[in-house]
């Protein structure tokens, strides 16, 4: 029985001995770290005798696919954490979601060295620019960052991201394409509807295709594009079902699982691997609902976390689960809520791509008037029977910083639920330590929530 687990573990460890080139040295260090982390998790859950699950497989395979792409001569396109890669898959490119690198280093604290280098060369500081991306610059200077063949980014979710990507573009000279994300809603039901919103994004995505065709010397294969959109729709349907299942009491998933759906959509949206990963998460939740099993045993507190996780501390959520029987239902990135669309024609495929871009995790809630964000949090609190809201907050994230207090007041007024906002840098353990964060959360839960 032990052999199965040993096989996947040994197989990935063997792959980690392949020569990937010096630009993938850190990438490989992360790959090794994640293999060990997944094995430890499997052992902790008593699943060490089982084959690797589709989600873990998808994640580990991303490391391999990106690193091997260079050797195979497949072009790598770097893009940010707020855009689905479906079009890139349809055009035979290897998508590299940049923050998988600059934020993926955070749980191992490897990013902190590169933050120091970034500081030393004088590229911004944390109150001005977010540390989610800043390690990219320091690691580039030390020749430790992967260099893509193409670069793509959007004007959202923040000026901080767009600024760092521009600096990277100028340092590397990598051919780059950007698109502008409009402010207003594309839904005719919204008070903030603007009929030009959707068309504006569709036009830009079509121009992106032309740019990609020129860069890659190939035409968009319409059949492949349609197939990509079919897989995208299947994964979207799985995620939406999962989101519905999480309304159950007790919540059928552990605190980190919603983030798994986000990773599937942002890393492998438009592929079979994402369909399988999201199906696995959905099926587990459905089985737990059916058997009345909670992701957290003896659930006592249901937390809304309408911001990103504290990425340097991947033990924070398990700590909440073990010490307070508290479940974090979903963070803002895990809140992926794009439904399947009609993709029967190429025109419809573009429309679906554009809607998916406008509604992507964090983009849909943060790209327009503050009402987008407030409505999301209040709906979430009501739908998921939330007991309290927790938001780690950093000054560099200016739009979220500006919205947090007003949102917490609206949540209090409309639902009576308390909110805790605490300052920390989710990417740097040296600013506010894990101990300090846990102390603040513990005080809030024991003195106000329980």
Distance CA 395, CA 125 (A): 11
Which residue(s) pair with 423 in the sheet?
A: 393
Return the number of the residue (343 or 429) whose C-beta is nearest ligand SF4. 429
- Which member of 253, 332, 400, 437 binds ligand SF4 (CB under 6 A)? 400
Report the half-sphere exposure of 221 (CA within 13 A, side-chain side).
13
Among the residue ranges 154-162, 278-286, 314-322, 324-332, the one whose residues contact ligand SF4 (CB under 6 A): 154-162
Contact 261, 334 (CB under 8 A): yes
Q: Tell me the C-alpha distance between 61 and 335, whole Å.
A: 24
Nearest approach, Cβ of 189 to ligand SF4 (angstroms)?
26
CA count, 13 A, side-chain hemisphere, 97: 23
Q: Is 296 in the site for ligand SF4 (CB under 6 A)?
A: no
Please, which residue, 157 or 260, has the CB nearer to ligand SF4? 157
The token duo for 237 is 């349907």
* CA–CA distances in Å: residue 35 to residues 29, 56, 57, 171, 413: 10, 9, 10, 32, 45
- Establish if 397 lies at the interface with ligand SF4 (CB under 6 A): yes
Q: Is 105 in the site for ligand SF4 (CB under 6 A)?
A: no
One of 98, 197, 308, 419 touching ligand SF4 (CB under 6 A): 308
Residues 208-218 as b or e (16 or more Cβ within 10 Å = b): bbeebeebbee
State in angstroms the smallest separation of the CB of 323 from ligand SF4. Answer: 26
Query: Does 87 engage in binding with ligand SF4 (CB under 6 A)?
Result: no
From the list 67, 161, 327, 403, which residue makes contact with ligand SF4 (rule: CB under 6 A)? Answer: 161
The nearest distance, CB 384 to ligand SF4, in angstroms, is 22
- Confirm or reject binding of residue 391 to ligand SF4 (CB under 6 A): no
Residues 6+ apart with CB under 8 A from 193: 184, 185, 186, 187
CB of 181 to ligand SF4, least distance (A): 13
Helix and strand counts by DSSP (H, E) for the chain: 18, 8
First-to-last alpha carbon distance for the chain, in angstroms, is: 44
For ligand SF4, the binding residue among 26, 69, 130, 391 (CB under 6 A) is 130
Number of residues that bind ligand SF4 (CB under 6 A): 10
Q: Minimum CB separation from ligand SF4 for residue 194, in Å?
A: 23
Contact assessment for residue 232 and residue 271, using Cβ atoms and an 8 Å cutoff: no
The pairing of beta strand 419-423 with beta strand 76-79: unpaired
CB 351 within 8 A of CB 341: yes
**Interface map 45-84 toward ligand SF4 (x if CB under 6 A):** ----------------------------------------
Q: Which of 185, 182, 220, 222 is nearest to 201 (CA)?
A: 182
**Would you call 158 helix, strand, or coil by DSSP?**
coil
Q: Which stretch binds ligand SF4 (CB under 6 A): 157-165, 178-186, 206-214, 287-295?
A: 157-165
Q: Minimum distance between the CB of residue 330 and ligand SF4, rounded to whole angstroms? A: 16
Instruction: Decide if residue 364 touches ligand SF4 (CB under 6 A).
Output: no
Single out the segment in contact with ligand SF4 by CB under 6 A; choices: 156-164, 206-214, 321-329, 411-419.
Answer: 156-164
Q: Among 117, 396, 424, 432, which residue interacts with ligand SF4 (rule: CB under 6 A)? A: 396
Judged by CB under 6 A, the chain residues 323 through 352 that form the site for ligand SF4 are none
The contact set with ligand SF4 (CB under 6 A) reads 130, 132, 157-158, 160-161, 308, 396-397, 400
């Amino acid at each position: 029985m032990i052999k199965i687990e040993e096989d996947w573990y040994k197989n990935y460890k063997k792959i980690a001995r392949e020569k990937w080139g010096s630009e993938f040295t850190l990438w490989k260090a992360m790959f090794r770290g994640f293999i060990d982390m997944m094995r430890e998790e499997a052992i902790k859950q008593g699943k060490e005798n089982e084959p690797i699950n589709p989600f873990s497989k998808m994640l580990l395979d991303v490391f391999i696919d990106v690193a091997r792409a260079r050797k195979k001569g497949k072009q790598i396109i770097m893009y940010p954490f707020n855009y689905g890669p479906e079009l890139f898959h349809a055009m035979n490119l290897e998508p590299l979601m940049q923050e998988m690198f600059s934020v993926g280093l955070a749980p191992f604290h490897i990013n902190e060295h590169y933050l120091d280098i970034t500081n030393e060369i004088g590229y911004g500081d944390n109150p001005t620019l977010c540390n989610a991306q800043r390690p990219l610059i320091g690691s580039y200077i030390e020749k430790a960052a992967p260099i893509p063949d193409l670069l793509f980014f959007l004007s959202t979710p923040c000026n901080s991201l767009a600024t760092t990507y521009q600096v990277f573009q100028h340092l590397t000279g990598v051919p780059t394409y950007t698109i502008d994300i409009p402010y207003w809603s594309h839904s005719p039901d919204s008070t903030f509807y603007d009929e030009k919103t959707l068309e504006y994004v569709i036009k830009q995505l079509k121009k992106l295709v032309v740019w990609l065709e020129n860069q890659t010397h190939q035409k968009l294969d319409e059949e492949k594009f349609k197939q990509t959109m079919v897989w995208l729709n299947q994964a979207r349907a799985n995620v939406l079902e999962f989101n519905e299942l999480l309304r159950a009491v007790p919540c059928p998933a552990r605190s980190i699982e919603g983030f798994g759906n986000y990773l599937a959509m942002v890393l492998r949206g438009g592929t079979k691997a994402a369909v399988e990963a999201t199906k696995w998460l959905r099926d587990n939740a459905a089985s737990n609902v059916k058997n009345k099993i909670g992701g957290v045993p003896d659930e006592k507190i249901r937390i809304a976390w309408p911001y990103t996780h504290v990425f340097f501390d991947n033990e924070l959520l398990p700590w909440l689960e073990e010490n307070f029987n508290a479940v974090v239902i979903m963070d803002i990135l895990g809140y992926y809520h794009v439904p399947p669309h009609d993709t029967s024609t190429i025109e419809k495929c573009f429309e679906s791509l554009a809607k998916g871009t406008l509604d992507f995790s964090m983009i849909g809630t943060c790209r327009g008037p503050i009402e987008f964000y407030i409505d999301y949090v209040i709906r979430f609190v009501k739908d998921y029977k939330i007991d309290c809201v927790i938001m780690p907050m950093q000054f560099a994230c200016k739009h979220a910083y500006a919205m947090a207090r007003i949102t917490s007041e609206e949540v209090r007024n409309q639902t009576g639920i308390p909110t805790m906002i605490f300052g920390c840098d989710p990417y740097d353990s040296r600013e506010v330590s894990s101990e300090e964060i846990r102390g603040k959360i513990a005080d809030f839960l024991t003195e106000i929530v329980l």
